[in-house]
Chain A
Amino acid sequence: MKLTIGANGWPVIGHELTVGQLRRAVQSGAVAHAYLLSGPARIGKEHLALTFAQALLCTAESSAKPCGHCRACTLVAQRKHPDFLTLDMAWQGAMLPDKKSAQSITVDAVRLMNSELARSPHEGHWKVLLVPEAEGLTTQAANAFLKTLEEPPDQVVILMTSRDAELVLPTIRSRCQPLPMRPLPLSRVADALRQQGQHSEERTRLLARLSGGRIGWALQAQRDDTLLTRRAEALEAHGRLLRANRAERLLAAADLSKGDHALDMLQTWAGWWRDLLLVQSGAASRISNIDQRAELDHLSHRLPPTASRAFLRELQRLLAVLETTNANGQLVWEVLLLKLPSLSGEWRMANGMTD
């Protein structure tokens, strides 16, 4: 991918406030010891963290750091710089071979990292630690990290990322400088996609809407078609199941539960139903599946608003069940598909369509 230099001087699209803050910190040397980058998935947290690490470790003479092509910048981009550490499963597996099969970061890994950080940097002036998905740390691991996080050795900068700052232990959160990252305006995403060029305007607009402002998602969908293909499959299955009878749905549930991308599919469905709700509520200009407009308009009269509301609630509930418990996947899909409003005329009452 061609990296365009953003208006703010860093190869980061959007997030001007956050980038400006980090840039000033690098220039003035007033770098905080710990940051918490938070925001939805694929919004660019790790990319920004890597860029910040590059800026800290860059060896270029000029003040325009990161230069992007010196040895340090290249190594950080490849995550191989000796002063750039990542507390993730790969690191844990490499450093503690007996913990290779662990499900999460263990206390031992955190302790090892604590002592690793106590050593001075190998090359540059900084030692940067990236802790991705900090909300996934167990309570024990997070607690073992508290003292280091509060007063780390000089020259250490800790960058934590999380999809939601509220999910991180409060004692961790309050020790970091917060860097909340929010979805970009959709127009900004569309502009960025246009700069990458080579695609139709229609597709650009659709991707921008679908991304919900998550620039990382938009760029990935632009690069390879898997995301869009997967979405088309999800919509196709959805349309088919809307018109299917009970027996067909139960058969489909068995297949769907074995699929690899159940969550993506639920996301797509939820987006579609949200759009239907928007159309029914008179806010059709804000829908994200703009290529489905005709179908949505058509169905907005055939399905009552109560049905879309109830099914959206059901989607949310089942998603929570899937994410937070180890529920039987097939059972969840069966419940979901039986609650899916029907266009087949059968058991219309089942889905509150009489009201």
Chain B
Amino acid sequence: MSQQALYRKWRSSSFDELVGQPHVVRTLTNALQSDRVAHAYIFSGPRGTGKTSSARILAKTINCTAAPEARPCNDCHLCRSISNGTSLDLIEIDAASNTQVDKVREAIVEKVNFVPSEARKKVYIIDEVHMLSNSAFNALLKTIEEPPPHAMFILATTELHKVPETILSRCQRLDFRRIPVSEIADHLAFILSQEGIEAEPELLALVARQATGSMRDAQSLLDQLMAHGGDRLTVADARAALGLASLEAVQQLVALILAQDIGAALLLVNDLLDQGTDPRQFLADLLDHLRALLLTLAGNSSQLHDLPEEAIRQLEAQRGQIKPRALIEIIRRFTQAGSELKLALQPQLPLELAIVEAVLALQGQGDETVLSAMPTAAPRPDPAAGRPLSALREPRNDYAPAPPASQAPTAPDTGESPQHPPTHEAEPRAATPPPAPTVPHAAHSLAWWQAEWEAVLARLDDMGETGQRAALRLKFGHPHEVDGAKLVIGFPFSIHKEKLEAPADRQAMLRALRAVGGETLEAELRLVPRTAPASSPPKTKFELAADDPVVQEALRHGGHIVDVYQS
């Protein structure tokens, strides 16, 4: 017969052995001790977290013939018959293969009234219960609500949302959680010691991380590795079996990308894949590294304590080579590559495209910073772009409700926060922190206001209920005109303008505007109907193209525009 897989061989057989679900164990043991076991439970949670195992343990504990404190003994004939699946009073039903209402009536509803043959209680375990048909669920309702005293139900499912409310409300619900890496590793160490196999401690952590919280996944992987290797499992073997690239290879690729050496980076990736590296695993490792770099960049490297010192040193060295925005773009590219792998024409193609685009993002980072330094460049940048990364560094406690009016011109943390002093309209995002305000009345340009508009809304949104209400209305407006120290806000509809003119709303709006734009600011709300927009009508694509200096040059040489395409 086939060898039992580790996950079957080492299925927990008592609550003490159940790993990573202390809240479930406590609930169930307390219920058992105080003899308040519910007549129906539903166990839900991701795969491999112990649902079926717990159901069987519960069935054993209820029926075990040993003294109450020793249950389950796993030794009496009832325990054993449950363990090897021969008990007449444990009815385990695979809901996925018995979805129809007839099967449910036949197997459960009609037989539940017969008393158990030898055990105290007849226990029905319905696994993968979410697969039952609607009518099957409904046929169960009455039975689950009031089963005869000698019967109880345990339902188990990975997809709780597919179970009808009427079933859920009749059951006591226990949620199983993903098991932490450390606990999986500890349990694997225990299994290996029982099996008489040695393993490097690093290996256990590696396998546990791969399992993403599922003990069964971890044990399947361990099975695979044990089938590969002899009595000693090494990290090197595991990496080969799983198709993991070495950490050095990942670091090397990041270094090549940062050095903008596309050719060498592509060669490296091709060689790695040729040697049997798994593209998906490699992407995961790469993203891990990039995330670490992002955390380092955001000044939050304290979360990286599980990295070797060498890696942290390298991260510190790399942080100067890249700007946060480019890094975020790179991470986005590689994440996208991960989802493209599933449908890829060739496994290396998504990776290669992402590398090329990553280097392009890096090459663009010089231009991008120039662009964003010029407030006129983008009339309405997306909020993420408008928010400097310094915002990531620490929570913005200055968004607290009702900031005192005098707080505005304090020195900003890196000179890039929205609460910019009102002096430097020309260089609001300069790299160096601006000096303290000297000319208090210099006003911001219209473009500056347009760029900071999201910040105003965000600030207002943080100012309690009134603020949120005002923000909702202000969203319909837009900076329309700057008139000395007065900002004119245009509204297409009078209703939003009138509501905002109520004293409470107006007060909140002014506070937010002043916090962003400076103390002495005044605001005027004005109705600006859509039909008379502030700017000239949008240009056609032909006119836009004709503005381009290159095109103008071509036109001067006798060319004419036939059609315009956005590349």
A binding-site residues for B, Cβ under 8 Å: 17, 20-21, 24-25, 29-34, 40, 107, 110-111, 114, 140, 143-148, 150-152, 154-157, 164, 166-167, 170-171, 173-180, 182-183, 185-186, 212-213, 266-267, 270-271, 274, 277-278, 281-283, 285-286, 305-306, 309-310, 312-313, 315-316, 319-320, 323-324, 347, 349-352, 354-355
Contact = CB atoms under 8 A, between A and B. Distances in A.
17 contacts: A31-B3, A111-B97, A144-B96, A147-B97, A147-B127, A148-B97, A183-B276, A185-B276, A212-B348, A274-B346, A277-B356, A281-B266, A309-B353, A316-B340, A347-B565, A351-B567, A354-B567
Given A34-B5, A183-B273, 4 more contacts: A146-B128, A174-B214, A281-B266, A309-B353
A58 B471 CA distance: 76
Nearest to B48: A174
A148 B341 CA distance: 30
Contact of B227 (A25, A29, A144, A352): A25
B224 interface: yes
A305 to B, nearest CB: 8
B550 A312 contact: no
A167 B96 contact: no
Given A156-B2, A347-B562, A282 B345 contact: no
A19 to B, nearest CB: 11
Contacts of A352: 567
A179 B223 CA distance: 11
Nearest to B338: A166
Given A166-B280, A277-B356, A283-B270, A319 B263 contact: no
Contacts of A183: 273-274, 276, 347
A117 to B, nearest CB: 12
Tell which of B4, B96, B277, B344 has the most Cβ of chain A within 10 Å: B96
A176 B345 CA distance: 27
Contact of A182 (B216, B276, B343): B276
Given A174-B216, A182-B276, A281-B356, A20 B343 contact: no
B563 interface: yes
A232 B121 CA distance: 72
B234 interface: no
Contacts of B356: 277, 281, 305, 309
A97 B370 CA distance: 70
A247 B7 CA distance: 62
B564 interface: yes
B3 A312 contact: no
B127 A313 contact: no
Nearest to A20: B228
Given A143-B96, A316-B343, A178 B3 contact: no
Contacts of B3: 25, 29-32
Given A32-B3, A114-B97, A347-B565, A286 B228 contact: no
Given A155-B1, A185-B274, A177 B224 contact: yes
Given A166-B280, A283-B267, A320 B343 contact: yes
Nearest to A22: B227
Nearest to A320: B343
Contact of A274 (B48, B241, B352): B352
B267 A146 contact: no
Contact of B263 (A147, A274, A282, A320): A282
Contact of A310 (B344, B346, B567): B567
B112 interface: no
A32 B227 contact: yes
Nearest to A263: B345
Contacts of B242: 180
A108 to B, nearest CB: 10
A33 B94 contact: no
A147 B128 CA distance: 9
A175 B128 contact: no
Contacts of B350: 316
B363 to A, nearest CB: 12
Interface in B385-416: none
A349 B220 contact: no
5 nearest A-B pairs in the assembled complex, by CB-CB distance: A282-B263, A352-B567, A143-B96, A154-B1, A147-B94
Give the dominant DSSP class at A's interface. Answer: helix
Interface in B464-485: none
A270 B345 contact: yes
Given A147-B96, A178-B221, A274-B352, A316 B344 contact: yes
Contacts of A271: 345-346
Contacts of B550: 354
Interface string B172-189: 000000000000000000
B240 interface: yes
Given A31-B3, A143-B128, A147-B94, A177 B267 contact: no
Contacts of B263: 281-283
A178 B220 contact: yes
A102 B457 CA distance: 56
B5 A177 contact: yes
Contacts of A25: 3, 227
A350 B541 CA distance: 13
B97 A110 contact: yes
Nearest to A351: B567
B463 to A, nearest CB: 43
Contact of B266 (A111, A157, A286): A286
Interface in B56-107: 94, 96-97, 99
A30 B357 contact: no
A316 B349 contact: yes
A155 B264 CA distance: 51
Given A146-B96, A177-B227, A309-B353, A278 B266 contact: yes
Interface in B531-567: 550, 562-565, 567
B441 interface: no
B245 to A, nearest CB: 12
A21 B228 contact: yes
B11 to A, nearest CB: 10
Contacts of A170: 47
A350 B565 contact: yes
A185 B241 contact: no
A309 B360 CA distance: 11
Nearest to B3: A30
Given A312-B353, A316-B343, A316-B350, A32 B2 contact: yes
Interface in B218-237: 220-221, 223-224, 227-228
Contacts of A151: 8
A212 B347 CA distance: 9
B97 A274 contact: no
A105 to B, nearest CB: 14
Nearest to B562: A347
B475 to A, nearest CB: 33
B437 interface: no
Contact of A144 (B97, B262, B345, B353): B97
Contacts of A148: 97
B217 interface: yes
